[in-house]
Chains A and B, each alone.
Chain A
Amino acid sequence: MPGKIRKIDENRWELPQSFRPGMRVPGIVYADDSLMRDIREDQALEQVANVACLPGIVKASIAMPDIHWGYGFPIGGVAATRVKDGVVSPGGVGFDINCGVRLLRTDLMEADVRPRLDELVTNLFNNVPSGVGSSGKVRLSAKEIEQVMRKGGRWAVEQGWGDADDLEVTEESGTLAGSQPDLISKRARERGAPQLGTLGSGNHFLEVQAVETIYDADAASAMGIEQIGQVTVLIHCGSRGLGHQVCDDYLKVMDAARSRYGIELPDRQLACAPVESKEGRDYLASLACAANFAWANRQCIAHWTRQAFEQVFGQSWRRMGMRQVYDVAHNIAKIERHTVDGKSMRVCVHRKGATRSFPPGHDEVPARYREVGQPVLIPGDMGRYSFLAVGVATAMEETFGSTCHGAGRLKSRSAARRELKGRDIAAELREQGIVVRAASRKGLLEEASMAYKDVAQVIDVAEAAGLVKKVAKMRPMGVVKG
C-alpha cells in the first residue's frame, strides 16, 4: 500500500520517497484541501509516485491542481529528466501530442455578436469539421504531409491561412525544430492526411467568448484585451490521428527497448528509453512531426474561424481585429535549460496536461509579451468560464516553468451520461445564453459542466502557489463541440 503524504502549506503537498519503493525523487502536488479530497478519490497520486521512479528524473514528480487519473503519467503531470542520463517517455506526453489551446481576440463586442450568435455558431460548425470521422477540407498529398510535419504552423501560413503575426505568438513559432518525417509510419500518415483542420471529438472545442473580468489591465492590454464584453475565440485541439499513431508506434519501440536498457517500471504505460539513445532521439524527432501537425491544425482552424466571422459580419478578419493572442501546447516533451540544485542543466521536460508558463524576460517569450510574461491559456468547461493568464518566475523555480491546463474531469463519462439521462444540455445552456452545436448528443452529456471541476478553483490554487498570474476571465457565448 502507498505511504503517507505530507502537507507542506495551503497549496502544496509532498509525496515523500517512502510513498512507494523505487521513487528517485519526491512527488509534489499543488492543491488545496478541497482539490486534494477529489484527487485522493482515484489513482492519480499513485501515478505521481510511479513517475518519480523514472531514471534520471530531477527535483520532483510534479502534479498540477487539475491533476487526475490518466494512464501512465497522471493528467496534469510534469517531469523533467536529465538529458545526459535520463529517459524520455511517450506516456509522459500522451497520445494527443501537442494538444493545446489558441486564443484569438477581436474588436467586436458581445452586443455586436449576440444578435447573430446562432448564425455564427452554425457557420463555425459548418466551417470547422468536428466530431468522430470528420474529414478536413484539405486532404493532404504525400508531399504536403511531409511539409506539414516539417514546417507546422508555417506551412498553413504559406497556404495563405493566417499571417506571419500568428506565428510570432505561437509557442516555438509554430514549428518545433528537429522533426524527421522519414521516421513517421505509413499508418500515422494515413490517419493524419484526411484530418488536418479538424477539431476531433472528446473534450476538444471551439468557443466564442466574452471577456467577463480583467484582473491585470496592463498585461491584458499587451494582449489586446481592453474591455469587459470584448469577444474572443478559444480553440482547443491537437495532432489528431497522426499524433495518436506516433505515440502508439513509440510505445511499442520503447516497450521492446526496456529490457535492453535494463529499465524497470511500475507501469508498462511509462515505457521509456534514454533521451540520448536511438529510440529516445527518434521519438523526439517524431514528436516534433506530430507537434508541427497540431500547430498546422490549429492554424487552419483559426483561419476558418476568421472566415466564418467574415461571412456573418461582412467584414475582413483584419478589420474586425481578429488577431491571435497566443497558442500554447499542453501535451509535449521538450529539451529545455533549467536550474536544478543551483546548476543549470539541459532537461527533457514532459508536460502532460500542463501548460508552459515562462516568466517576463525569458528568451522564449515573444518580444511583445517579454515585459508581461508568456500568455497562458486555461480553458474551463463549456458552461462556466476560461482564463487568460501569464507565466511567473516561481513557476520557473519550482515547476520547470509549468502550470495547470484546465478544469480536470470530476466525473467519468459514463457517470455524467447516467446522471444527466434525459436532460437536454443544449437547451439548458441556451437558457444561460450559451449556444451549443455538437456532433454527438451523448458526447455533449459527457462534456457537461457538472462533469468537470471548477476551473476557477484550479487556477486560484495555481496562482496562490505562484505558478501563474490571472489576466482575464472569459465566459462562453457559443460552443462548437466534436
Chain B
Amino acid sequence: MWSAGAAYNSRVRSSRERVIETGFRILEHTADAAIEATGKDLRQLFANAARGMFQVITELDSIGETLARDVSADAADREALLVAWLNEFVYLFDVENILFRRFEIGELTETMVKGRAFGEPIDHGRHDVKTAIKSTTYHGLSITGGGDGYRARVIFDV
C-alpha cells in the first residue's frame, strides 16, 4: 500500500499553519502550495477542498456568484477522485477563467462525484489573483477519517 501520506502528515510544520476559515487551511510548502481540508462527511470534504484551492488562487471572499457549472469527475479510488475533482476546476479556471466560491456535492461514491459550483469570471479589478494552479498533485495526498469526520491534505503545483 501507498503510505507517503502518513509521512507527509508528520512533517508539516504545524506551528506555522494558519486557520483561514472553517473547513480548510493553507499549509506551508516551500515551492508549491498545500491545503488541509476537513468535513463532517466526504461531501463536505470535497466542497471544502475546492474552497481551499480557490483561496490559494485568490481571496475566496472576493469571489461573487454570478454563474454556476455542473461538474463531475471519476477516478479509480477516493484519493484520485479528489485530485480529478479539483482538476476540473483547474481546467475551468484555465479555459474559461472562472473563479468559484461555493460547491454543492450531489452524488458521491468512491470513484465518481457529481456536483455544482458557483462563482464568477475573473475581474482583475476586483480579484488579486496570486497564482494560477498548474495541477493538483498526488504527492503527500491523503484522505483520513471516518464516521465522525474527514480530513484531506493536498499539494498543488503552482
A residues engaging B (CB < 8 A)? 41-43, 46, 68-72, 75, 91, 94-96, 131-133, 187, 190-191, 194-195, 200-202, 241, 244-245, 247-248, 251-252, 255-256, 265-269, 271, 409-415, 439-443, 446
Contacts and interface: CB of A to CB of B under 8 A. Distances in A.
B157 A94 contact: yes
Most buried by A among B11, B29, B140: B29
Interface string B77-102: 00110001001001101110100000
Contacts of A75: 31
Contacts of A133: 93, 97, 122, 124, 129, 132
Interface string B125-143: 0001111101101111100
A268 B4 contact: yes
Contact of B94 (A71, A191, A271): A191
Contact of B130 (A42, A269, A446): A446
A187 B76 contact: no
Nearest to A414: B26
Interface of B: 2, 4, 7-8, 11, 16, 18, 26, 28-33, 57, 75-76, 79-80, 84, 87, 90-91, 93-95, 97, 122, 124, 128-132, 134-135, 137-141, 155, 157-158
A68 B28 CA distance: 14
A132 B57 contact: yes
A265 B4 CA distance: 10
A202 B132 contact: yes
Most buried by A among B33, B87, B95, B122: B95
A68 B7 contact: no
A116 B134 CA distance: 35
A71 B140 contact: yes
A202 B138 contact: no
Contacts of A440: 128-131
B7 A268 contact: no
Contacts of B30: 41-42, 68-69, 409-412
A46 B128 CA distance: 35
A251 B18 CA distance: 31
Most buried by A among B4, B26, B30, B93: B30
B31 A69 contact: yes
B11 to A, nearest CB: 6
B27 to A, nearest CB: 8
A71 B129 contact: no
A366 to B, nearest CB: 31
Contact of A71 (B7, B90, B137): B137
A194 B96 CA distance: 10
A239 to B, nearest CB: 10
B72 to A, nearest CB: 14
B96 to A, nearest CB: 9
Nearest to B141: A268
Contacts of A266: 4
Contacts of B97: 133
Contacts of A256: 76
B52 to A, nearest CB: 13
A252 B79 CA distance: 12
A415 B4 contact: no
B84 to A, nearest CB: 8
A202 B158 contact: yes
18 contacts: A42-B11, A70-B139, A71-B137, A71-B138, A133-B93, A133-B132, A187-B91, A244-B134, A244-B135, A247-B135, A248-B87, A267-B2, A268-B2, A271-B138, A414-B33, A439-B124, A441-B128, A443-B129
